[in-house]
């Protein structure tokens, strides 16, 4: 996993990212690069979180290939950088991954779906004498309805050339040793129905999150655009906009693991807050249901006002915690913004260090500052090599062309 924090005001953007990368869910290395220049010549940076690859190609390679292709070209707005980068990802992946790789992505997502359904904490326990298929079918019906209602998702996925039913059966046969049967066919049918919805929900374990930060040529206030992508799922390129900072002049944006940043900003961990509001709303709904059964008009009043207390909680948090902090962030200098971003990442890392769980946040923290005229400035950056032994790297970093290109220019472009 990852902890990354963006802080910004009208003067600059500061970005900080940890270095932890988890391999096979059991081993952590503190050497990952997640923060990059998107352009060598213009004030634009990029943060990567969650999966470190898209369709098997490392995001670091993709970013540097785009940067190479972009050269000195610039855009009037940061949104154009974002849109252009997405087009680059689509075209690059379309060209450099095989049809088999695209189909294999379906297999990966089917295994993720299997975990999402059958390894859930709320999946019913199969009691002695109960039929697994009956329990699973009933659970899947409720889960499909919940996903549709919660995420308001439309099914958009090209599954041509894939025998989805057979692939799902293969997973059942391999992972649960279930024999092929009519009952299995019915369960497979429900999983096919849920699959195209599942592929669109947030928190997919293979999704790559990307935040592009900086300025377009005609922009004087910093912009941030956040989107997520699964790359190609068979023949469909999956990308989804997550948000931007268009409506705020200053703020703090945590990416990936965010509970300590939320605690710092709001005074409450978002998971605790979600639990409190969910329990409260469920309690009110239960009262309303009982009153409704008794045919009392008061149920309508409760149903119409069950969100009032949640709204008031939010108002208090914003007034007492969030707004005072944002007012201070609005006047911070560049280096103070960077210090805040780094401190929040370190706070998340400290929490993981004090936990018995796998330390999925940690290692050196890379920190960069972007401002309109100073451009992209590294405040802290880890290197995998000794810079004293590699002066050629820094000499070549901003070289515009190869020797062949320079010779062509000297010859008048021949």
Model pLDDT, residue 57: 95
- Nearest Cα neighbor of 24 from 365, 383, 360 is 360
- What pLDDT was estimated at residue 165? 92
Calpha distance 345→363 (Å, rounded): 10
Q: Report the pLDDT averaged over residues 204-208.
A: 88
Across the chain, mean pLDDT equals: 87
Average pLDDT over residues 92-99: 94
Q: How confident is the model at residue 412 (pLDDT cuts 50, 70, 90)?
A: very low
> What pLDDT does residue 243 have?
93
For 378, the token pair is 């590294």
Residues 6 or more apart in contact with residue 313 via CB below 8 angstroms? 273, 276, 277
Q: For the chain, which residues make up each domain, given as ranges? A: 99-198, 259-329
Mean pLDDT of 216-243: 95
Cα-to-chain-centroid distance, residue 275: 22
Q: Are 114 and 123 in contact (CB under 8 A)?
A: no
Q: What is the mean pLDDT of residues 21-41?
A: 86
What is the pLDDT at residue 301? 62
pLDDT above 70 for 170: yes
For residue range 307-364, list pLDDT tens digits in order: 677 777 778 888 888 999 999 999 999 999 999 999 999 999 998 888 877 788 999 9
- CA 272 to CA 175: how far, in whole Å? 34
The mean pLDDT value for 158-179 works out to 88
Question: Which of the two residues, 200 and 402, has the higher pLDDT score?
Answer: 200
pLDDT digits (tens, 9 = 90+) for 132-160: 899 998 999 888 888 877 777 666 788 88
For tokens 């992505």, name the residue. 105
C-alpha to C-alpha distance for 46 and 81, rounded to whole angstroms: 11
- The whole-number pLDDT of residue 389 equals 92
Please report the pLDDT score of residue 299 as a whole number: 60
If you ran DSSP here, which 8-state letter would residue 250 be given?
A: S
Distance CA 289, CA 277 (A): 18
Instruction: Give the mean pLDDT of 38-53.
Output: 96
Lowest mean pLDDT of 16-30, 86-100, 168-182, 313-327, name the range.
16-30
Residue 32 has pLDDT above 80, yes or no: yes
The upper half-sphere exposure of residue 163, i.e. CA atoms within 13 Å in the direction of its Cβ, equals: 5
Among 58-62, 246-250, 255-259, 296-300, name the one with the lowest average pLDDT: 296-300
d(CA 81, CA 323): 31
**pLDDT exceeds 60 at position 408:** no
E strands within 19-147? 20-23, 27-30, 35-37, 44-50, 53-54, 57-58
| pLDDT confidence band for 26 (50 / 70 / 90) | low
Which tens digit of pLDDT belongs to each residue from 111-130?
999 998 998 888 988 888 88
Task: Give the model's pLDDT for residue 298.
Answer: 63
Q: Which two tokens stand for residue 282?
A: 């469920």
What is the tens place of the pLDDT at every residue in 279-291? 777 777 777 777 7
What pLDDT, on a 0 to 100 scale, did the predictor assign at position 24? Answer: 60
Q: CB-side exposure of 322: number of CA atoms within 13 Å?
A: 15
In the block, residue with structure tokens 């890392």:
349
Q: How many residues does the chain have?
A: 414
Q: What is the dihedral of CA 379, 380, 384, 386, to 10 degrees?
A: 70
pLDDT score of 402 more than 60? no
pTM, entire model: 0.85
Answer yes or no: is pLDDT of 380 > 80. Answer: yes
Q: What is the pLDDT of residues 174-186, one digit of tens each?
A: 888 888 888 899 9
Q: Which residues contact 54 (CB under 8 A, 6 or more apart)?
A: 62, 89, 93, 208, 229, 230, 231
pLDDT mean over 190-196: 87
Cβ–Cβ under 8 Å, residues 137 and 193? no
Which of helix, strand or coil describes residue 229? strand
pLDDT band at 411 (very low <50, low <70, confident <90, very high): very low
Angle at 42 between CA 37 and CA 47, to 5 degrees: 25
Specify the pLDDT at position 154. 66
- pLDDT at position 86 is 98
Confidence of residue 42 (pLDDT cuts 50, 70, 90): very high
């Amino acid at each position: 996993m990852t902890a990354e924090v963006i802080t910004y005001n009208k003067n600059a953007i500061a970005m900080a990212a940890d270095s932890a990368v988890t391999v096979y869910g059991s081993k952590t290395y503190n050497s990952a690069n997640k923060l990059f220049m998107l352009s060598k010549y213009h004030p634009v940076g990029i943060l990567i979180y969650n999966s470190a690859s898209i369709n098997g190609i490392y995001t670091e390679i993709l970013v540097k290939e785009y940067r190479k292709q972009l050269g000195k070209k610039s855009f009037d707005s940061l949104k154009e950088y974002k849109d252009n980068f997405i087009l680059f990802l689509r075209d690059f992946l379309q060209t450099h991954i095989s049809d088999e790789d695209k189909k294999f992505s379906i297999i990966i997502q089917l295994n993720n779906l299997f975990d999402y359904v059958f390894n859930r904490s709320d999946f019913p326990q199969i009691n002695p004498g109960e039929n697994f298929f009956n329990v699973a079918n009933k659970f899947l019906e409720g889960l499909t309805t919940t996903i549709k209602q919660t995420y308001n998702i439309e099914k958009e996925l090209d599954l041509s050339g894939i025998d989805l039913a057979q692939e799902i059966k293969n997973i059942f046969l391999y992972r649960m040793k279930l024999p092929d049967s009519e009952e299995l066919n019915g369960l497979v049918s429900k999983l096919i129905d849920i699959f195209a919805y599942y592929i669109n929900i947030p928190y997919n374990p293979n999704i790559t999150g990307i935040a592009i930060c900086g300025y377009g040529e005609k922009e004087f206030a910093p912009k941030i655009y956040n989107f997520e992508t699964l790359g190609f799922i068979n023949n469909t390129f999956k990308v989804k906009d997550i948000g931007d900072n268009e409506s705020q002049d200053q703020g703090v944006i945590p990416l990936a693991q965010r509970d300590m940043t939320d605690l710092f900003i709001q005074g409450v961990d978002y998971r605790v807050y979600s639990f409190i509001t969910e329990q409260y709303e469920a309690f009110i709904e239960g009262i309303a249901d009982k009153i409704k059964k008794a045919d009392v008009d008061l149920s309508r009043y409760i149903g119409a006002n069950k969100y009032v207390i949640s709204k008031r909680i939010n108002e208090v948090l914003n007034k007492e915690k969030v707004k005072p902090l944002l007012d201070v962030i609005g006047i911070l200098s560049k280096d103070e913004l960077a210090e805040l971003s780094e401190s929040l990442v370190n706070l998340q890392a400290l929490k993981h260090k004090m936990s018995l769980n796998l330390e999925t946040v940690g290692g050196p923290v890379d920190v960069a500052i972007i401002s309109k005229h100073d451009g992209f400035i590294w405040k802290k950056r880890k290197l995998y090599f000794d810079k004293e032994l590699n002066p050629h790297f820094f000499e070549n970093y901003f070289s515009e062309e190869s020797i062949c290109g320079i010779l062509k220019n000297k010859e008048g472009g021949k």
